Amino acid sequence: MHHLVETQQFDRASLRKLFDLATILETKRDDSLHGKILASLFFEPSTRTRFSFESAMYRLGGHVITAENAAEASSATKGETLEDTIRVMNHYADVIVIRSPEAGAAERAAAISEVPVINAGDGAGQHPTQALLDLYTIEREIGHIDGVHVAIIGDLRYGRAARSLAYLLSKYNDIKLTLVSSPELAMGADIKAHLDEHGVKYTETESLKDTMPEADVIYQTRVQKERFPSKEEYERFKGGYIIDRTMADSMKEGGIIIHPLPRVGEIMPEVDDSPHAVYFKQVGYGLIVRMAILSTLMNPQRNS
Ligand code: NCD
pLDDT tens for each residue of 279-303:
999 999 999 999 999 999 999 788 8
Tell me, what CATH number does 154's domain have? 3.40.50.1370
State whether 178 and 139 are in the same domain: yes
Per-residue pLDDT at 65: 97
Determine whether 304 is exposed, middle or buried from the number of CB atoms within 10 Å of its CB (0-12, 13-18, 19+). exposed
Could you tell me which residues come within 8 angstroms of residue 29 by beta carbon, excluding any fewer than 6 positions away? none
State whether 120 and 195 are in the same domain: no
Per-residue pLDDT at 47: 86
State whether 164 and 235 are in the same domain: yes
Q: How far does the centroid of ligand 1 lie from the alpha carbon of residue 52, in Å?
A: 13
State whether 81 and 95 are in the same domain: yes
Between CA 224 and CA 237 the distance in angstroms is 10
State whether 43 and 189 are in the same domain: no
* pLDDT at residue 192 tops 80: yes
Whether residue 157 lies inside any domain: the answer is yes
Query: CB count, 10 Å around CB of 51?
Result: 15
Residues 14-38: b if buried by 16+ CB within 10 A, e if exposed: ebebbbebbbebeeeebeebeebbb
Per-residue pLDDT at 45: 87
Task: Look at 31-35, 79-83, 156-160, 286-290 and tell me which has the smallest mean pLDDT.
Answer: 79-83
49 labelled catalytic: yes
Share of the chain above pLDDT 90, in %: 92
Per-residue pLDDT at 79: 84
Which of 165, 222, 263, 266 has the most ligand 1 atoms within 8 A of CB, as the residue to mutate? 222
State whether 44 and 104 are in the same domain: yes
Task: Look at 45-54, 108-117, 209-218 and tell me which has the smallest mean pLDDT.
Answer: 45-54
State whether 90 and 140 are in the same domain: no
State whether 199 and 255 are in the same domain: yes
Q: What integer is the mean pLDDT of 208-220?
A: 98
State whether 120 and 36 are in the same domain: yes
Per-residue pLDDT at 266: 97
Q: How far does the centroid of ligand 1 lie from the alpha carbon of residue 69, in Å?
A: 16
Which of 160, 228, 279 has the most ligand 1 atoms within 8 A of CB, as the residue to mutate? 160
* pLDDT at residue 72 tops 90: no
Nearest CA to ligand 1 atom 3: 121
Q: How far does the centroid of ligand 1 lie from the alpha carbon of residue 204, in Å?
A: 22
127 labelled catalytic: yes
Are the C-beta atoms of residues 294 and 60 closer than 8 Å to each other?
A: yes
* Pairing verdict, β 63-67 and 117-122: unpaired
Between CA 238 and CA 233 the distance in angstroms is 9
Q: What integer is the mean pLDDT of 157-184?
A: 96
Total domains present in the chain: 2
* pLDDT at residue 157 tops 90: yes
> Is 50's C-beta closer than 6 angstroms to any atom of ligand 1?
no
> Is 119's C-beta closer than 6 angstroms to any atom of ligand 1?
no
Per-residue pLDDT at 247: 98
Per-residue pLDDT at 218: 98
Nearest C-alpha neighbor of 44 from the set 108, 117, 116, 120: 120
Q: What integer is the mean pLDDT of 222-236?
A: 94
Q: Whole domain around residue 203: which residue ranges?
A: 128-283
State whether 194 and 275 are in the same domain: yes
State whether 76 and 121 are in the same domain: yes
Are the C-beta atoms of residues 125 and 103 closer than 8 Å to each other?
A: yes
Between CA 167 and CA 52 the distance in angstroms is 23
Whether residue 303 lies inside any domain: the answer is no
Per-residue pLDDT at 75: 80
Whether residue 2 lies inside any domain: the answer is no
Whether residue 57 lies inside any domain: the answer is yes
pLDDT tens for each residue of 244-280:
999 999 999 999 999 999 999 999 999 999 999 999 9
Whether residue 304 lies inside any domain: the answer is no
